[in-house]
């Protein structure tokens, strides 16, 4: 892959709205991606390997638990800082951002919000440092968009719970030390359980042959009569609202992350269009290429404004789940369309690993599906504005 020459677009001077702390955090994450992610990510994706060597760096830039209080090892930052970190990481690769999203919003968040004080003290500092990596098991082979139908379940055996079932499409599963697993009790109520690697009957086979998110490890979580200690049940929230609350936080991060992928595609295409000569002039001089680039920067700017306002609302505790859905859906759709257009600007070079665009484009096919598909988020908006539930 060529040297990383990325320069971030800021067409509406959005930096003026950020605090000095926001800019410092964003710039540190940006510099880390340039130094430690860009040089290795193409090879990792080609080899379909998660580059574990970047785990300490992710922890250092505050990507593991950005908004988790410092007393538990988190960075204690606000939601806009969290968003900016996700934006910068996904500028490098959506798979790396996935790892950070899962660790922060899908593993640390439920332990912090729904866990006991003992669970917080036991797990959060190790997850924040990256000593332990986590995964989040909600999706099942027969229950993706409708997790309420899940069949993974546990029985109360007196001194422990007995867990059975299987989860599919689980980011980080092949190497996770702990998994936050959503399962039904004997009354059919959903609860979260912390399952640790090494518990008998727990296995995590990897899913191979992905064309997307190749630098992120995806797999299954299989539970065959796993004895889970009673103290591993998350005590403070149950029902489908518990995992969906975690998704709100992760979807918020994706709404920002997708902007990073789009910025990288736009910046690469703009530079290429200025340098590539055809018919005796730079292709940037042709109206058709200008249309593509002008529409890209317009859409990126709109997405930045949406994410920034959502960050303000989230900081004030006023962001609704439906507002988060709208931003996730819009910004990922924006990014995938920009990746497709940017790839065309590079002509044949666009399909190679010399440039990041094709990798972003393939990654975004997962991002538009996970954490609620494009369709599901549209139906969430539809329900919110009409009051009519079109899911079932």
Residues that are catalytic: 371
Indicate whether 138 belongs to the interface with ligand TGC (CB under 6 A). yes
- Residue 189 tokens read as 């109520």
Give the range of 14-22, 55-63, 143-151, 204-212 binding ligand TGC by CB under 6 A: 143-151
Q: How far is the CB of 169 from ligand FAD (least distance, A)?
A: 4
Closer of 164 and 369 to ligand FAD (Cβ): 369
Closest CA to 303 of 339, 340, 329, 322: 329
Place of tokens 């082979």: 141
Neighbours of 373 (CB within 10 A): 14
Which secondary structure element, helix H or strand E, spans residue 257, and what is its range? helix 241-275
Around Cβ 141, how many Cβ atoms within 10 Å? 12
Query: Is 170 an interacting residue with respect to ligand FAD (CB under 6 A)?
Result: yes
Per-residue binding letters, 200-219, with ligand FAD (x by CB under 6 A) = -------------x----x-
Under rule CB under 6 A, residue 144 binds ligand FAD: yes
Interaction between residue 177 and ligand FAD (CB under 6 A)? no
Total residues in contact with ligand FAD, by rule CB under 6 A: 21
Query: Closer CB to ligand FAD, residue 174 or residue 353?
Result: 174
Kindly give, in sequence order, each residue whose CB lies less than 8 Å from that of residue 320, ignoring residues fewer than 6 positions away.
384
Residue 239 binds to ligand TGC (criterion: CB under 6 A): yes
**Cβ neighbours of residue 250 closer than 8 Å, sequence gap 6 or more:** 101, 102, 104, 105, 106, 371
Q: Is 101 in the site for ligand TGC (CB under 6 A)?
A: yes
For residues 50 and 45, give the distance between their C-alpha atoms in angstroms, rounded to a whole number. 8
The H or E element containing residue 160 is strand 160-171
Select from 42-50, 84-92, 135-143, 347-355 the region that touches ligand FAD (CB under 6 A): 135-143
Q: Which of residues 11 and 391 has its CB atom nearest to ligand FAD in the complex?
A: 391
Place of tokens 């899962």: 102
Question: What minimum distance in Å lies between the beta carbon of 145 and ligand FAD?
Answer: 3
The answer to whether residue 109 forms part of the interface with ligand FAD (CB under 6 A) is: no
Whose tokens are 């200690």? That residue is 229
Least Cα distance to 64 among 31, 36, 98 occurs for 98
Write down the least CB distance from residue 17 to ligand FAD, Å.
32
Which of 352, 310, 348 is CA-nearest to residue 42?
352
Find which of ligand TGC, ligand FAD, none residue 380 binds, CB within 5 to 8 Å per kind. ligand TGC
Residues that bind ligand FAD in the complex, under the rule CB under 6 A: 102, 136-139, 144-145, 169-171, 213, 218, 366, 369-371, 373, 375-376, 379, 391
């Amino acid at each position: 892959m060529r040297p990383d020459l990325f320069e971030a677009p800021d067409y509406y001077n959005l930096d003026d709205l950020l605090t000095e702390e926001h800019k410092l955090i964003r710039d540190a994450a940006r510099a880390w991606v340039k130094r430690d992610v860009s040089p290795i990510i193409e090879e990792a994706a080609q080899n379909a390997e998660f580059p574990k060597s970047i785990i300490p760096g992710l922890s250092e830039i505050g990507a593991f638990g950005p908004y988790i209080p410092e007393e538990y090892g988190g960075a204690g930052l606000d939601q806009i800082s969290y968003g900016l970190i996700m934006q910068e990481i996904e500028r490098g690769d959506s798979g790396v951002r996935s790892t950070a999203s899962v660790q922060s919003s899908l593993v640390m968040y439920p332990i912090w919000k729904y866990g006991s004080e003992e669970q917080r003290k036991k797990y959060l500092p190790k997850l924040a440092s990256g000593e332990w990596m986590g995964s989040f098991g909600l999706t099942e082979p027969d229950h993706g968009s409708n997790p309420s139908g899940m069949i993974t379940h546990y029985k109360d055996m007196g001194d422990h719970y007995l867990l059975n079932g299987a989860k599919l499409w689980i980011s980080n599963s092949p190497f996770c030390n702990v998994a936050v697993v959503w399962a039904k009790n004997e009354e059919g109520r959903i609860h979260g359980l912390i399952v640790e690697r090494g518990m008998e009957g727990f296995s995590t086979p990897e899913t191979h042959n992905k064309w997307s998110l190749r630098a992120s490890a995806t797999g299954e979580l299989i539970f065959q009569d796993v004895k889970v200690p009673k103290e591993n049940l998350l005590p403070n929230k149950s029902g489908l609202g518990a995992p969906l609350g975690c998704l709100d936080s992760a979807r918020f991060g994706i709404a920002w992350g997708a902007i990073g992928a789009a910025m990288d595609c736009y910046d690469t295409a703009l530079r290429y269009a200025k340098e590539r000569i055809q018919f005796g002039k730079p292709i940037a001089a042709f109206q058709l290429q200008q249309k593509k680039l002008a529409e890209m920067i317009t859409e990126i700017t709109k997405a930045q404004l949406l994410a920034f306002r959502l960050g303000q609302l989230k900081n004030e505790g006023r962001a609704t789940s439906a507002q988060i859905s709208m931003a996730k859906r819009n910004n990922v759709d924006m990014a995938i369309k920009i990746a497709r257009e940017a790839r065309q600007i590079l002509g044949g070079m666009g399909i190679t690993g010399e440039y990041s665009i094709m990798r972003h484009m393939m990654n975004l096919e997962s991002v538009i599906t996970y954490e609620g598909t494009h369709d599901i988020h549209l139906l969430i908006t539809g329900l919110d504005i009409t009051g009519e539930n079109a899911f079932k």
